A and B are shown apart, each in its own frame.
Chain A
């Protein structure tokens, strides 16, 4: 079963705009990770945030984590057409087994 849900399910924006997607999960975690998937193929790791961290940056990506609300958000700044993909959050508890959310489909128009 899925760990939680992502919101929104789909998001359409213009190039240059920021994209924000949210992830909610149900259980305790050790860390939370974000992955991108292009055209239903393999997933690419974007960023990992540990349970004792509140915010993390990587290039144009900013991730926040609120363990009290069991939620995380991914912000992509200055979006590009190449950012068009599905984005998934995944939680980890005791092992490196990933429990994925339902995903957000992002469409960035030129």
Chain B
């Protein structure tokens, strides 16, 4: 079975631009979460979606938005990019529930110049 897939793997954008990152969860997983990992730190929670509805949002500005599609894939959008948005963006899928493990994709490395 395919794991969590993310695209693209690397991306370079200019300040002020907009970016869309994509994630396909493991088949059967209806919960998708997004995390931002700045170099040298642990991942920080951005969003969680379950059954196409937002179920949680981290402490990120409104420039960050996401959605989940009927096939449970997800997109993360970031508008008006800042240099500080440069990071590894990780997508994780899981079965719904508190005591479940998360399966992570390999991430998208975003560089804002």
User: Are A and B subunits of one complex?
Assistant: yes
Q: Which residues of A contact B (CB under 8 A)?
A: 1-2, 30-31, 33, 35, 40-45, 48, 50, 88, 90, 92, 94-103
Contact in complex: A43, B43 (CB < 8 Å): yes
Interchain CB contact under 8 A, A48 and B99: yes
Task: Assess whether A45 is in contact with B98, with CB atoms less than 8 Å apart.
Answer: no
**A42 B105 Cβ-Cβ under 8 A:** yes
B100: chain A residues at CB < 8 Å are 96
Q: Pick the contact of B106: A41, A92, A94, A102 (CB < 8 A).
A: A41
Residues of B within 8 A of A31 (CB): 98-99
Asked if B56 lies at the interface with its beta carbon under 8 angstroms from chain A, I say yes
Q: Which residues of the other chain, A, contact B35 by a CB distance below 8 angstroms?
A: 98, 100
Point out the residues of chain B lying under 8 angstroms from A44, CB to CB: 104
| Pairs A–B under 8 Å by Cβ, sample size 11 | A1-B59, A41-B106, A42-B90, A43-B102, A45-B103, A88-B42, A95-B56, A96-B94, A96-B97, A97-B33, A103-B42
For the complex, give the distance between the alpha carbons of A95 and B96 in Å.
8
Cα–Cα, bound, A43→B88 (Å): 12
- Which A residues are CB-close (under 8 A) to B45? 97-99
CB <8 Å contact, A94 and B98: yes
Q: How far is the CB of B1 from chain A (nearest CB, A)?
A: 16
Are the C-beta atoms of B101 and A43 separated by less than 8 Å?
no
Which of B41, B48, B92, B103 is close to A2, meaning CB atoms less than 8 Å apart? B41
Give the docked Cα–Cα distance between A45 and B100 (Å): 10
